[in-house]
Structures are given as structure tokens and as C-alpha cells.
């Protein structure tokens, strides 16, 4: 019990640092660029962060459980292209969306089956899926982008409701829901438990296999959702959709204070981590800073965030 | 208590570190983006020049031209793109620059269809839109700046390789991205040219590298293994011909292939293929000056922003006379061979 309270207070401290960092970034860019602090710009940023944000939810859970899913970008691309192909073959657009979600679930199920049931290394399995699915995408659509969807579909990614992008509202709602799940349900206890001590969870009679399977299933589903939103926002399903998105997702998760070896972390942290990286990128873009510098800065930030954590950990021991 | 104190301390350190990063990056900004930032006055017009990606030599050469134009025309140019040829990151970046209220954008779209919505938004904000190097037809773009029509370039490449291999044999295509309009149009034109003029030439496959040099290299290796009787390779983007030439040269060195067994042509910056041209691995390379292409893009944007007309045969400083055909601005292509390869400075 005392361990738990220590962990909790630690987590809160941690979040404070991230909040300060976010605040610092916001203030800094407001001073440096006259265009940064405006409703239009903030709404733009919210509109752009949805795909990474959606995938970051299950990713945080998976990292907390002590695993990793590197195939999310390829699942995104695969689902997006499946949707495009279904639509091209005359399926109703919303039925095509369903096809995309099913495709994502299927990929997640394959991941989950191999990792949970057969206890294969998550990194190895998901790297395999990353390469294989991306290849499959190219086979499926011959590398050509698929576009020409009905206007009603663009609602998801391009419509603003009372000045706020619809996809951002959706992301916020899903984040709140997931936050509730991770705070209040037994499922979250299992997830944290597996990350801390898989054996102990196993011997308490809880199905580790089922919990892990559900996590990867969720990851597949959310990646597919991100794919649908991306296609709606860009009006085009491309073979390269989602390439390298896993790096952004993991960066947000890790800056948000989730421990790469599992057991600790929170969705609120991930959300702040997400805001940090999207506002940082947006601010640097507005200043016209070359992407080459942007990569350096983002990497340094990750080192600071993670280093700060390790530093703390050594001290609290 | 101690722990809390330490947390606050490290937090402050992190912040000050971030602050250092931010200020130094702020100083570095003009060097990395537009050299004219410092020299221009407050009221200067600003243009966002957006290649497909940052990194390849081709786009670096274009950056020089864009910056040259910025100082010649006394305008601001921000030259930036994602590090990989990624459509969604590119569009996020354009969206950010529209927030910055630039006067015009010059975009080389990674996906001709995907830029449609953002171009519509830009047009709504009265921002001038020009595509360059790769087009996005059926969008709100006002002009397309290109070396020549994709059809003409594709046909020229097909003719070059058809002549070199004697109009007979297997040929493979290497492209940067299967989704970009300019790559599709050029390779389709080359295919059509073969069908019409060299019916004995068979196009066996088209491989894409996504503008990734390592992938282009691996693609070329796979090609010569998969098709041992391959006679020719056409590289439709800057990174492809050098990758093909390097692989062929190594195979010749290793003795698995005869010199001249595979003819290579394509579009590549002379400095990158100079050695391959000198030792005969590549006989003819097609190129235009990417710097002049970017220069023209900035010039056209500036003309549009001032409400001036884009006329056929207009004389652009340092670029020369350009051909204007409808909404297309053509600056012309160059053929690089052993004889003139040393005369190019890009």
C-alpha cells in the first residue's frame, strides 16, 4: 500500500514537470511568433494531432503492460487502403469505414495471438507486422493513392463544430473515456499488474493472455480509426500513410512519463506529452525552422524527459 | 521533501535546457530556412517553398535557387519540408504556414489529390499557389512550374534508353513514389513511347523507393538479381540513377556482370552521377537545374502576389526565357553526357 502511494505522488510530481514544460513551450512560442497564440492556429494543431493521439491511447496501455506495438503505422496504412479499395469496389462509404476497422482489428488480433498466446516477443512480432503489412499495402493498391470520396465522409476530418474540429472533439471524448477506464476499472489494475509483475498476476488467477490480447486488439482498432480520420482529413488513402507514426506515438508516450519497461505511466501524461510534441512542431514550423533542427530538438526533449525520470528514480531509491 | 526539491530542480534544469535549445535554434533559423530573413524589411512578402522532402541533393540544390530568388527579389522565403516524402506531414506543414499568413506557397506535392483541401483553404485566404516539380492538377493551384511536360521528359528518357540498347530487351523503371503525379505521368509516357516506337522493348517492372536512398539501392540490387537478362534501367527521380549505377558498377567489379550489359539513364543532379558518367556506367543523364526551378517558382509567386501577368516567353533573371503554356511554366531540360558533365555547378 505504501509503495502505491509513493508511486502515485511520484507520478504527480512527474506530471508537474511536463505541464511546466508545455506551459514554457506555449509562452516561448507566443513571444517568438505573432501567429502562434491564435484560435485558428490552436484549432489547426488540434486538427493535426488526432491520428497520433488516437494511437497513443492503446500504446500507453501496452507500454504500461511492459510491451510495445511498432506495427501501428502499418496497420493505419493497411486499414486506410482497405477502406479505399472497398469504396472503389462500390461499397457504401460507411460500410468501407467498417471494413477499415475490421482490417485493423484483424491485424491487432494477429499481433495479440502471437504475442499473448504464443508468448512471442512483442517487438519482434510487431516489427514483422510493420514490414509485412506495409508490403501488403503496396501490393493491394499498387502504390497509387485512392481518392474521390463523397463529401459527407470529409465531415470526420475536415468539419469544424462551433469553431472546433470534429476530430479533435472525438479525440478528447475518447481520451476521457480511456482515462476513466484506466482509473476506475479492474482491467487497468491487470494492465499495471502485468507491467510490474506478470508472474504475480498470472498466479492470482487472472488471464494474462486475455488482457494482452485485448490490448493489441485495441491497438489495431485505434490504428484503423486513426487511418479513417487521416483519409478523411487528407481526402486520399496513400500507401505511405502512417509511415513512422509509431515514433511520434512512442515519443508522446515516453515524454508523458510512461516507463518503457512498463508498470508505470498514465494517459494524462501521454496527453500532455502529445500536446508538447505537436505544439513544439507547430511553433518551429511557424518560425520557419528547418525540419532538420526540429528532429534534433524533439530528440533532445525526449532525452530530457526520460533522463529526468531516471535521475529521479535513482534519488528516490 | 528532498525528493520534491530534486524534482523541482531537475524540472528547472530541463526548462533552462529547453530554453537554450530554443534560443539557439532561433538564431539558426535563417541559416536553415531562408537566408534573406535578416536583410528584408518588415513589409516584405513571404513565400513558403515546400519541396517533397528535405535531405536529397536535388532538393538541396533547389533550396539554393529559392534563396537566391529571395535576395534578388527582396522577399522572404521559408524553405522547409518533412524529412521523408510524407503527404500528411507535408500538409500539416502547409497548414502551419497558412497560419503564418504567407503571401504564397510553392508546393511540390507528395500526393496530387491530398493537397486539394489545403489548396482550397489557401485560395480562400487569398494566398498565391504554385506547384513545382510535381503537379496537382484539378486543384486551386494557379501555375505549375516544371522543366518540361512530364510526357516530353518521359519520352526523352525512353528514347535515350531505347537507342542505347538497340530497341530490344527488358527494361525496368525505378521511381521515387508510385503516388506522385510527375512520376506516374513520366513513366506512363515512357511506356507509351516504347509501345509506339520500340515494340521489342519490354518493361518488366516498376519499383519505388519513396525517396529513400537506401531503399533505391536495395531495389536496384533486387532488380539485377531478379532479371539477369535486364538490358536497361530508367530512374525517374534524382536518387534512382545513382543507386542503379552504383549497384551495376559493383556487379561489374565483382565479375557477375559485363560492363555495358545494363544501360542506365534517368533524371539526376550531375554532381551525384558525375563519376558514373565519366566511367561510362551512365551515358546520358537528363536534368534541369533544380535551383532555377525553385527560382522560377518564387518569381512566379511574386508576380502573382503583385497582380502581374505571367506571359509566354517572359525573361526571368538568371533563369532566362520560359515557355508558358496555359497554366504551365516550362524552363527546359538539359542532357548531361561525358562531354559536358564538368560544366554544371549543381
Is B138 within the bounds of a domain? Answer: yes
Q: Reduced to 3 states, what is the DSSP secondary structure of residue B324?
A: strand
* Cβ–Cβ gap A14/B7 under 8 Å: yes
Is B346 within the bounds of a domain? Answer: no
- pLDDT cut 70: percent of chain B above it: 88
Q: Which of B2, B14, B103, B187 best tests the A interface by mutation, with the highest count of A CBs <10 A?
A: B14
Is B30 within the bounds of a domain? Answer: no
Answer whether residue B13 shows pLDDT above 90: no
Is B15 within the bounds of a domain? Answer: no
Q: How confident is the model over A235-271, as pLDDT tens digits?
A: 888 888 898 899 999 999 999 989 888 999 999 999 9
Is the Cβ–Cβ distance between B156 and B111 less than 8 Å? no
Residue of A nearest to B115 (CA): A234
pLDDT confidence of residue B20: 42
List of residues 6+ apart from B83 with CB closer than 8 A? A291, A292, A295, B53, B54, B55
B143 and B51, same structural domain? yes
Is B12 within the bounds of a domain? Answer: no
- For residues B211-250, one letter each, b for 16 or more C-beta atoms within 10 angstroms of the residue's C-beta and e for the rest, the string is bbbebbbebbbebbeebeebbbbbbbbbbbbbbbbbbbbe
* Cβ–Cβ gap A282/B96 under 8 Å: yes
Residue B265's domain spans which residues? 150-287
pLDDT band at A147 (very low <50, low <70, confident <90, very high): confident
- What is the overall mean pLDDT for chain B? 85
- Cα distance from A300 to chain B (closest Cα, Å)? 8
Domain count, chain B: 2
* Cβ–Cβ gap A308/B177 under 8 Å: no
pTM: 0.76
pLDDT top residue among A307 and A207? A207
**Chain B partners of A236 at a C-beta cutoff of 8 Å?**
87, 111, 113-114
Task: Give me the total of CB pairs closer than 8 Å, taking one residue from chain A and one from chain B.
Answer: 169
- Cα distance from A197 to chain B (closest Cα, Å)? 25
Neighbour tally for B163: CB within 10 Å: 14
The whole-number average pLDDT for the span B21-31 is: 38
B93 and B171, same structural domain? no
| Longest alpha-carbon distance in chain B | 83
Residue of B nearest to A48 (CA): B92
**Chain B partners of A289 at a C-beta cutoff of 8 Å?**
25-26, 28-29, 32-33, 80
pLDDT confidence of residue A290: 84
- Cα distance from A255 to chain B (closest Cα, Å)? 12
ipTM value: 0.77
pLDDT confidence of residue A132: 96
B162 and B51, same structural domain? no
Residue of B nearest to A17 (CA): B11
CATH number for the domain that contains residue B156: 3.40.50.2300
B164 and B182, same structural domain? yes
Distance of CA B247 to the CA centre of its chain: 22
* Cβ–Cβ gap A285/B11 under 8 Å: no
Residue of B nearest to A27 (CA): B19
pLDDT confidence of residue A236: 87
B294 and B283, same structural domain? no
B160 and B267, same structural domain? yes
Is the Cβ–Cβ distance between B344 and B336 less than 8 Å? yes
Is B73 within the bounds of a domain? Answer: yes
B212 and B133, same structural domain? no
B72 and B118, same structural domain? yes
- Cα distance from B309 to chain A (closest Cα, Å)? 29
pLDDT confidence of residue B154: 94
Question: What domains, with CATH codes, occur in chain A?
Answer: 10-316 (1.10.3470)
- Cα distance from A258 to chain B (closest Cα, Å)? 16
Q: How confident is the model over B243-290, as pLDDT tens digits?
A: 999 999 999 988 888 888 999 999 988 888 999 999 889 999 998 888
* Cβ–Cβ gap B114/A145 under 8 Å: yes
Tell which residue, A286, A231, A73, has the closest CA to residue B93.
A286
B170 and B283, same structural domain? yes
pLDDT band at A310 (very low <50, low <70, confident <90, very high): low
Neighbour tally for B294: CB within 10 Å: 30
Cα separation of B186 and B205, whole Å?
A: 15
B308 and B280, same structural domain? no
B166 and B132, same structural domain? no
The whole-number average pLDDT for the span A269-286 is: 93
Answer whether residue A8 shows pLDDT above 50: no
pLDDT band at A2 (very low <50, low <70, confident <90, very high): very low
The whole-number average pLDDT for the span A110-125 is: 95
Residue of A nearest to B28 (CA): A289
The whole-number average pLDDT for the span A186-210 is: 93
B64 and B186, same structural domain? no
Residue B88: which of A10, A138, A230 has the nearest Cβ?
A230
Is B2 within the bounds of a domain? Answer: no
Answer whether residue B39 shows pLDDT above 50: no
Is B213 within the bounds of a domain? Answer: yes
Amino acid at each position: 500500500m505504501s509503495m502505491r502511494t509513493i508511486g502515485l505522488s511520484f507520478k504527480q510530481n512527474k506530471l508537474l514537470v511536463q505541464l511546466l514544460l508545455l506551459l514554457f513551450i506555449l509562452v516561448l512560442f507566443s513571444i517568438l511568433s505573432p501567429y502562434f497564440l491564435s484560435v485558428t492556429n490552436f484549432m489547426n494543431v488540434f486538427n493535426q494531432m488526432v491520428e497520433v493521439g488516437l494511437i497513443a491511447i492503446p500504446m500507453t496501455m501496452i507500454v504500461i503492460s511492459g510491451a510495445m506495438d511498432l506495427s501501428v503505422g502499418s496497420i493505419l496504412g493497411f486499414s486506410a487502403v482497405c477502406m479505399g479499395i472497398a469504396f472503389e469496389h462500390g461499397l457504401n462509404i460507411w460500410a468501407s469505414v467498417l471494413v477499415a476497422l475490421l482490417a485493423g482489428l484483424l491485424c491487432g488480433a494477429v499481433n495479440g495471438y502471437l504475442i499473448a498466446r504464443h508468448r512471442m516477443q512483442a517487438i519482434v512480432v510487431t516489427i514483422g507486422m510493420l514490414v509485412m503489412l506495409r508490403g501488403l499495402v503496396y501490393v493491394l493498391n499498387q502504390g497509387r493513392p485512392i481518392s474521390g470520396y463523397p463529401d459527407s465522409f470529409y465531415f470526420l476530418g475536415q468539419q469544424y463544430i462551433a469553431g472546433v474540429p470534429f476530430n479533435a472533439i472525438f479525440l478528447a471524448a475518447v481520451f476521457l473515456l480511456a482515462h476513466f477506464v484506466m482509473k476506475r476499472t479492474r482491467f487497468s489494475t491487470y494492465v499495471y499488474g502485468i507491467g510490474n509483475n506478470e508472474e504475480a498476476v498470472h498466479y492470482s488467477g487472472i488471464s494474462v493472455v486475455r488482457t494482452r490480447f485485448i490490448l493489441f486488439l485495441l491497438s489495431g482498432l485505434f490504428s484503423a480509426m486513426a487511418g479513417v480520420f487521416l483519409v478523411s482529413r487528407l481526402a486520399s488513402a496513400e500507401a505511405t500513410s502512417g509511415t513512422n507514426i509509431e515514433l511520434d506515438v512512442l515519443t508522446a508516450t515516453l515524454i508523458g512519463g510512461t516507463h518503457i519497461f512498463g508498470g508505470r505511466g498514465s494517459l494524462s501524461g501521454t496527453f500532455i506529452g502529445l500536446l508538447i510534441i505537436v505544439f513544439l512542431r507547430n511553433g518551429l514550423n511557424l518560425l520557419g525552422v528547418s525540419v532538420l533542427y526540429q528532429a534534433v530538438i524533439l530528440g533532445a526533449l525526449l532525452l530530457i524527459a526520460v533522463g529526468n525520470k531516471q535521475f529521479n528514480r535513482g534519488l528516490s531509491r | 521533501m528532498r525528493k520534491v526539491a530534486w524534482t523541482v530542480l531537475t524540472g528547472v534544469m530541463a526548462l533552462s535546457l529547453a530554453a537554450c535549445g530554443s534560443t539557439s535554434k532561433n538564431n539558426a533559423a535563417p541559416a536553415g530556412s531562408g537566408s534573406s530573413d535578416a536583410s528584408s524589411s518588415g513589409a516584405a512578402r513571404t513565400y513558403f517553398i515546400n519541396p517533397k522532402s528535405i535531405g536529397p541533393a536535388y532538393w538541396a540544390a533547389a533550396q539554393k535557387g529559392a534563396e537566391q530568388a529571395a535576395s534578388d527579389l527582396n522577399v522572404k522565403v521559408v524553405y522547409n519540408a518533412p524529412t521523408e516524402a510524407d503527404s500528411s506531414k507535408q500538409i500539416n506543414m502547409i497548414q502551419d504556414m497558412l497560419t503564418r499568413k504567407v503571401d504564397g506557397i510553392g508546393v511540390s506535392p507528395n500526393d496530387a489529390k491530398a493537397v486539394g483541401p489545403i489548396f482550397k483553404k489557401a485560395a480562400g485566404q487569398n494566398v498565391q499557389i504554385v506547384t513545382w516539380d510535381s503537379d496537382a492538377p484539378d486543384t486551386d493551384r494557379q501555375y505549375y512550374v516544371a522543366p518540361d511536360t512530364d510526357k516530353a521528359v518521359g519520352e526523352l528518357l525512353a528514347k535515350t534508353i531505347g537507342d542505347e540498347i538497340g530497341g530490344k530487351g527488358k527494361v525496368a523503371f525505378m521511381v521515387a513514389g508510385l503516388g506522385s503525379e510527375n512520376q506516374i505521368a513520366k513513366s506512363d509516357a515512357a511506356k507509351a513511347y516504347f509501345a509506339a516506337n520500340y515494340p521489342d522493348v519490354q518493361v518488366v517492372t516498376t519499383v519505388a523507393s519513396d525517396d529513400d536512398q537506401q531503399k533505391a539501392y536495395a531495389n536496384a540490387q533486387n532488380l539485377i538479381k531478379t532479371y539477369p537478362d535486364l538490358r536497361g534501367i530508367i530512374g525517374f527521380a534524382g536518387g534512382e540513377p545513382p543507386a542503379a549505377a552504383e549497384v551495376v558498377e559493383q556487379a561489374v567489379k565483382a565479375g557477375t556482370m559485363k560492363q555495358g550489359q545494363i544501360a542506365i539513364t534517368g533524371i539526376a543532379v550531375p554532381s551525384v552521377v558525375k563519376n558514373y558518367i565519366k566511367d561510362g556506367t551512365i551515358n546520358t543523364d537528363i536534368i534541369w537545374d533544380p535551383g532555377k526551378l525553385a527560382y522560377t517558382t518564387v518569381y512566379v509567386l511574386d508576380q502573382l502576389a503583385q497582380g502581374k501577368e505571367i506571359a509566354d516567353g517572359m525573361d526571368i533573371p538568371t533563369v532566362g526565357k520560359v515557355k508558358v503554356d496555359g497554366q504551365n511554366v516550362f524552363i527546359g531540360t538539359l542532357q548531361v553526357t561525358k562531354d559536358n558533365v564538368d560544366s554544371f555547378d549543381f
